[in-house]
């Protein structure tokens, strides 16, 4: 009776360990995929920032400054005019975010309200 209980218990533990090993394997795979995606996004981000800096250096500095200081939108953005504005508008229509929130990322889900409100100023 006692022996049977012990064996049943060990059997149960073995099953649990097997399950944990499978879960750990899944997590390792997920982390690996996330790290690869992160690496790819970092490279893409770096490349896009280089392009933006070349296309609209003043706007990039202004955007970065705003991102760092977390200014509420609607303040201090009235002077975006002329060539810089055209460059940003073109980048937006080429599929990139130009808003504070996702600046420099590819737009993957159609129009962005943050970008549009910036363009409509
Ligand atoms: Zn956006």
Per-residue pLDDT of the chain (121 residues; tens, 9 = 90+): 577 799 999 999 999 999 999 999 999 999 999 999 998 888 888 888 888 888 777 776 776 677 666 545 544 444 445 777 888 888 888 888 888 888 888 888 889 999 999 888 7
- Return the pLDDT at 33: 92
Provide the β-strand partners of residue 106. Answer: 96
CA–centroid distance, residue 106 to ligand 1 (Å): 9
Separation CA 76–CA 80 (nearest Å): 9
CA–centroid distance, residue 95 to ligand 1 (Å): 10
- Return the pLDDT at 48: 84
CA–centroid distance, residue 98 to ligand 1 (Å): 6
- Tokens coding 29: 């795979």
Separation CA 92–CA 86 (nearest Å): 10
CA–centroid distance, residue 92 to ligand 1 (Å): 8
CA–centroid distance, residue 31 to ligand 1 (Å): 27
CA–centroid distance, residue 115 to ligand 1 (Å): 4
* Residue environment code for 15-34, b if the CB has 16+ CB neighbours within 10 A, otherwise e: eeeeeeeeeeeeeeeeeeee
Q: pTM for the whole thing?
A: 0.40
CA–centroid distance, residue 63 to ligand 1 (Å): 12
* CA 85 to the chain's CA centroid: 24
Q: Which residues surround ligand 1, an ion (CB under 5 A)?
A: 97, 99, 102, 112, 114-115
């Amino acid at each position: 009776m006692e022996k049977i209980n012990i064996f049943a218990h060990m059997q149960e533990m073995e099953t649990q360990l097997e399950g944990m090993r499978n879960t750990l394997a899944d997590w390792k795979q997920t982390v690996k995929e996330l790290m690869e995606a992160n690496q790819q996004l970092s490279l893409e981000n770096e490349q896009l920032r280089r392009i933006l800096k070349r296309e609209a250096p003043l706007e990039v500095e202004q955007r970065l400054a705003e991102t760092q200081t977390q200014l509420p939108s609607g303040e201090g953005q009235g002077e975006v005019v002329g060539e810089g504005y055209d460059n940003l508008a073109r980048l937006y229509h080429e599929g990139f975010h130009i808003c504070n929130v996702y600046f420099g990322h590819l737009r993957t889900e159609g129009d962005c309200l943050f970008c549009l409100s910036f363009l409509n100023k």
